[in-house]
Amino acid sequence: MNPTLPLPKYHQIYLVLREQLREGQFADGLPPEIALSKQFAAGRVTVRRALEQLANEGLIIRQPGRGTRPAPQEAADAASAGTAPGSSASRLTGLLEKIVSMSLRTTVKVLEWRTIPAPPDVAQALQIPVGAKVKKGVRRRSLPEGPLSHITTYVPEELAGRFSRSALGRKPILRLIEESGVELGRAHQTVSARQADATVAAELDVAVGTALLAVRRLVFDAQDRPVQWLHGLYRPDRYEYQMEISQVGSSNATISVKENLSG
């Protein structure tokens, strides 16, 4: 864990596990306490306190002899592609160019590219049946200084079935979608914060529990059909999110977003 964070260790573990639960990473049950202790380099008492907090909030069910499993919850309770504070809806005008420009300044490692059945949260975001086939891509972008972002993207298989793994390393997925004949429309984006779990921490070269900038973006085509759902985790020392607001107080106020690399 990150000893510099002004949070008790058990609470850091709680935050990481809560995010993993929300993402459906423990469908078969949570690891035993001893395994979590090794993962977080923490004592079992500390891990147990984090689990107790999750149980008290109704997020997990702990049964002696049967282990710990996620509590049942409706698909509507899963991440819903942007209704939380910090969300913004915008047209893709200029966004594609910004993404392409960013890609030219970074290198990409494709960590995963495979077809999966859509879990409830992905199905809800992309407006497809639960279990429908989607392509899941996981990529790490890096600057010359080191890792920048860990990005997970979901695209309906009918759109991305022909995208190769090597193509993902060369071009942004939005560019590939556009080249397949899709006319892009608007995007709905949520910006928040999240702590790095063990997997992401290793890829971004940060400590487990480090605060990251979390971006969720749902992209629609010109007919307002979802074509991409993106979860991006960025190192805040190498990435910043800027928003410019004009005509403050006017009913015609406009918002423009700039995503800049720093460092």
Total-model pTM: 0.65
For 81-98, how does the pLDDT look when each residue is reduced to its tens digit (9 = 90+)? 333 444 455 545 455 555
Q: Quick one: pLDDT at residue 232?
A: 93
pLDDT band (50, 70, 90) for residue 247: low
158-190 in b/e form (b: 16+ CB < 10 A) is ebbeebeeebbeebbbbbbbbeeebebbbbbbb
77-261: CATH class = alpha beta
* 3-class DSSP state of 110: strand
CATH 3.40.50.2300 fits 9-73, yes or no: no
For 148-177, how does the pLDDT look when each residue is reduced to its tens digit (9 = 90+)? 999 999 999 999 988 999 998 888 888 889
Question: What is the pLDDT of the chain when averaged over all its residues?
Answer: 80
227 closest CA partner among 96, 109, 88, 106: 96
Q: Residue 39 pLDDT more than 50?
A: yes
In the chain, where the domains are located: 9-73, 77-261
For 199-241, how does the pLDDT look when each residue is reduced to its tens digit (9 = 90+)? 899 999 999 889 999 989 999 998 999 999 999 999 988 887 6
Strand partners, 69: 61
